[in-house]
């Protein structure tokens, strides 16, 4: 195992443990709506700041404009497909089933791991900051998975096992990002970073914040987004 892969394997173990812990906690004591919304807002701020401080600056100084456009287009097409195709293919009722939801979450988790791996492959502190931001996001996903499965009548053992299994996709994506994509340069690297930027922004706007706003908002819950953004912004200045 090369040094970058070993480093990524250690890093992705953190969100794996966090997501599993979230699933275990929710299996025994489901979180209230306010707590879930607060975590969603905070995670959205972290992820948004990670994209703004780690990925967008590199793209804004890049001359590979076609690669940026292609990467954005591919990323947007994939995220829209994950979000809307199940309903069109399976119908609204089957698309809302636990199996369909878990498939979408699995793809999202794998992409999260891929971004962590790419971040470490680039060197510097990008991988560390992405790991921190996505760890909080995956903690929420652990809670969401548990709540969805419990609503469908799943046992605690099934909830915990499913959460752990899905969290392992982070590790798979991270190792792939640190190996297959580690040697990308030029336009290939630019397109990959553009793809990652779209994935992160889509996660914030269409998943975390969209679900957080399904319940009544409060000044404190709204402020949690900016607290998360500030925390990541300050962390980037120390890294």
- pLDDT tier for residue 156 given thresholds of 50, 70 and 90: confident
> In whole angstroms, what is the distance from residue 113 CA to residue 168 CA?
9
> In whole angstroms, what is the distance from residue 48 CA to residue 238 CA?
18
- pLDDT tier for residue 236 given thresholds of 50, 70 and 90: confident
**Token output for 111:** 């992409």
The ranges assigned to domains in the chain are 3-26+33-238
pLDDT, tens digit, for every residue of 28-84?
887 788 888 888 899 899 989 988 988 898 888 888 999 999 999 999 998 888 888
Q: What is the mean pLDDT of the chain?
A: 84
The dihedral built from the CA positions of residue 70, 72, 75 and 77, taken in this order, carries a sign that is: negative
pLDDT, tens digit, for every residue of 103-149?
777 887 888 888 888 888 766 678 888 888 888 888 877 777 777 77
Residue 238 burial by Cβ neighbours in a 10 Å radius (0-12, 13-18, 19+): exposed
Q: CA separation (Å) from 18 to 155, 218, 232?
A: 20, 27, 18
> In whole angstroms, what is the distance from residue 11 CA to residue 114 CA?
12
**Token output for 38:** 């607060």
């Amino acid at each position: 195992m090369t040094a970058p892969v070993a480093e990524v394997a250690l890093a992705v173990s953190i969100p794996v443990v966090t997501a599993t812990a979230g699933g275990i906690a929710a299996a025994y004591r489901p979180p209230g709506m306010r707590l879930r919304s607060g975590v969603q807002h905070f995670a959205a701020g972290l992820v948004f700041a990670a994209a703004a401080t780690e990925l967008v600056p590199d793209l804004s100084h890049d001359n590979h404009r076609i690669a940026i456009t292609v990467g954005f287009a591919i990323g947007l097409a994939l995220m829209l497909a994950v979000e809307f195709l199940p309903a069109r293919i399976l119908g609204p009722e089957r698309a809302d089933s636990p199996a369909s939801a878990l498939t979408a979450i699995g793809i999202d988790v794998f992409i999260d791991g891929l971004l962590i791996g790419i971040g470490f492959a680039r060197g510097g502190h990008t991988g560390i900051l992405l790991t921190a931001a996505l760890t909080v996001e995956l903690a929420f996903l652990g809670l969401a998975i548990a709540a969805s499965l419990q609503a469908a009548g799943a046992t605690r053992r099934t909830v915990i096992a499913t959460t752990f299994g899905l969290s392992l996709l982070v590790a798979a994506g991270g190792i792939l990002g640190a190996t297959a994509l580690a040697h990308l340069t030029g336009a290939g690297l630019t397109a990959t970073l553009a793809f990652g930027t779209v994935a992160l922004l889509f996660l914030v706007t269409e998943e975390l914040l969209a679900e957080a706003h399904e319940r009544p908002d409060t000044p404190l819950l709204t402020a949690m987004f900016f607290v998360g953004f500030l925390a990541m912004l300050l962390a980037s200045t120390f890294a």
